[in-house]
């Protein structure tokens, strides 16, 4: 009934608690972006309000309203909801006070109130302390679900008040099979999307419906392959462009570095004779051709170098310099087998 890709352990735990009437007052769902945290939270909210025997049925009025985001008793709080202060980088105390007030009132149209805090690590300290008070005095028929990619950034007192559920990325094979199971995505494409999503089906499902995500990825891989053929001037130009982009959109640059890492990991996998496990499965021939130019040590060293660069950028070093050093670290072709 839950129709979630993967996360069988978390789902069955919630199902059992639901059946036994022993749900926690607050849950903390921890996992990488797009792994399915929001999907699971919504399904739990549906299960708590569903009107059918088998919950969540996904068919009744309550289930449908919750899915559409228009159920009065289910609310999502996060940065996106902070419409007045679109520049804001935190979930502020006013947002938490707002849901606290709503939590003190009985359910309006359903059976159970659910408050989902998306990106809980982005709560200001003030906001987190305010939420803590509510978590310490739980009300009947109210459930809080906190979603985070990194629970170490949350107040330990908040974490200790929640039941923690970890959502890990799926094995690529399992994700690919699940994506193809509906019959809408061809197996080969499902395998590609599963690999590129790193086991987080949310990205794969979005990309399966939006061609531009794959196109963007294709352009980036072409760029990476192009840089390898460039001389140092071309490589430094590329570093300069990335550095300029970093001031506007840090996330996009980290994503580009992930693509670099994937590409070089793939070269290493091909070198090890493990072609079927590469991420960029649609580029097997290109990878095989390129891998022949480098030896194992070169590949391993450069993969480390990419990781180091990403770490340095997170520590606010001189971005351009860090990226230029990465360009200088690209191994020289002809390292051979
Ligand atoms: Zn239902």
Question: Residue 335 has what pLDDT?
Answer: 72
Question: Residue 87 has what pLDDT?
Answer: 57
Dist. CA 270–CA 275, nearest whole Å:
5
pLDDT above 70 coverage of the chain, percent: 96
Helix (H) or strand (E) holding 93: helix 93-104
The three-class DSSP label of residue 115 is: strand
Dist. CA 52–CA 245, nearest whole Å:
50
Dist. CA 20–CA 32, nearest whole Å:
29
For residue 109, pLDDT over 80 is answered with: yes
For residue 173, pLDDT over 90 is answered with: yes
Neighbours of ion ligand 1 (CB under 5 A): 50, 52, 57, 60, 63
User: Measured at the alpha carbon of residue 258, what is the angle toward residues 256 and 264, in degrees to the nearest 5?
Assistant: 110
CA of 164 to the centre of ligand 1 (A): 25
Dist. CA 207–CA 263, nearest whole Å:
19
CA of 239 to the centre of ligand 1 (A): 52
pLDDT above 90 coverage of the chain, percent: 86
For residue 155, pLDDT over 60 is answered with: yes
CA of 209 to the centre of ligand 1 (A): 26
CA of 28 to the centre of ligand 1 (A): 24
For residue 81, pLDDT over 70 is answered with: no
Question: Residue 80 has what pLDDT?
Answer: 59
Dist. CA 97–CA 95, nearest whole Å:
6
CA of 48 to the centre of ligand 1 (A): 9
For residue 163, pLDDT over 60 is answered with: yes
Identify which of 291, 320, 326, 322 has the alpha carbon closest to the alpha carbon of residue 305.
326
CA of 62 to the centre of ligand 1 (A): 6
**Which tokens belong to 280?**
């960029």
Question: Residue 337 has what pLDDT?
Answer: 54
Identify which of 30, 118, 51 has the alpha carbon closest to the alpha carbon of residue 80.
118
CA of 2 to the centre of ligand 1 (A): 11
The model's pTM is 0.86
The three-class DSSP label of residue 216 is: helix
Express each pLDDT in 247-279 by its tens digit.
Answer: 888 889 999 999 999 999 999 999 999 998 999
Question: Residue 82 has what pLDDT?
Answer: 47
For residue 40, pLDDT over 60 is answered with: yes
Q: Which long-range contacts (CB under 8 A, 24 or more apart) does 302-310 make?
A: 302/264, 302/329, 302/330, 302/331, 303/261, 303/264, 303/265, 303/268, 305/329, 306/257, 306/260, 306/261, 306/264, 307/261, 309/257, 310/254, 310/257, 310/258, 310/261
**Which tokens belong to 113?**
């109130």
Q: Mean pLDDT over residues 226-244, rounded?
A: 96
For residue 84, pLDDT over 60 is answered with: no
CA of 129 to the centre of ligand 1 (A): 34
For residue 4, pLDDT over 90 is answered with: no
Between the alpha carbon of residue 84 and those of residues 34, 88, 95, 124, 253, the distances in Å are: 26, 9, 11, 17, 28
């Amino acid at each position: 009934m839950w129709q979630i890709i993967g996360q069988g352990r978390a789902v069955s735990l919630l199902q059992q608690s639901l059946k036994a009437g022993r749900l926690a007052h607050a849950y903390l769902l921890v996992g990488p972006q797009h792994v399915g945290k929001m999907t699971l939270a919504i399904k739990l909210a549906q299960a708590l309000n569903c009107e059918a025997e088998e919950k969540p049925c996904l068919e009744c009025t309550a289930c449908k309203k919750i899915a559409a985001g228009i159920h009065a008793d289910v609310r999502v709080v996060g940065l996106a909801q902070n419409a007045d202060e679109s520049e804001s980088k935190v979930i502020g105390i006013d947002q938490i006070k707002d849901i606290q007030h709503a939590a003190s009132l009985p359910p309006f149209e359903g059976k159970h109130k659910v408050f989902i805090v998306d990106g809980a690590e982005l709560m200001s300290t003030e906001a987190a302390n305010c939420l803590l008070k509510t978590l310490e005095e739980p009300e009947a028929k109210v459930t809080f679900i906190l979603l985070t990619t990194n629970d170490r950034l949350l107040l330990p007192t908040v974490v200790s008040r929640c039941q923690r559920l970890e959502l890990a990325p799926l094995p690529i094979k399992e994700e690919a099979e699940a994506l193809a199971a509906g019959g809408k995505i061809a197996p080969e494409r499902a395998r590609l999307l599963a690999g590129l999503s790193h086991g987080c089906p949310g990205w794969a499902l979005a990309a399966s419906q939006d061609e531009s995500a794959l196109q963007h990825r294709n352009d980036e891989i072409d760029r990476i392959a192009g840089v390898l053929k460039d001389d140092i001037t071309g490589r430094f130009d590329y570093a300069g462009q990335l550095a300029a982009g970093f001031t506007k959109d840090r996330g996009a640059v980290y994503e580009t570095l992930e693509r670099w890492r994937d590409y070089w990991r793939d070269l290493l996998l091909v070198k090890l004779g493990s072609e079927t496990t590469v991420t960029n499965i649609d580029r097997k021939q290109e990878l095989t051709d390129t891998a022949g130019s480098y030896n194992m040590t070169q590949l391993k060293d450069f993969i480390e170098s990419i990781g180091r660069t990403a770490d340095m950028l997170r520590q606010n070093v001189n971005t351009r310099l860090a990226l230029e050093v990465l360009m200088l670290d690209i191994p020289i072709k002809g390292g051979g087998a």
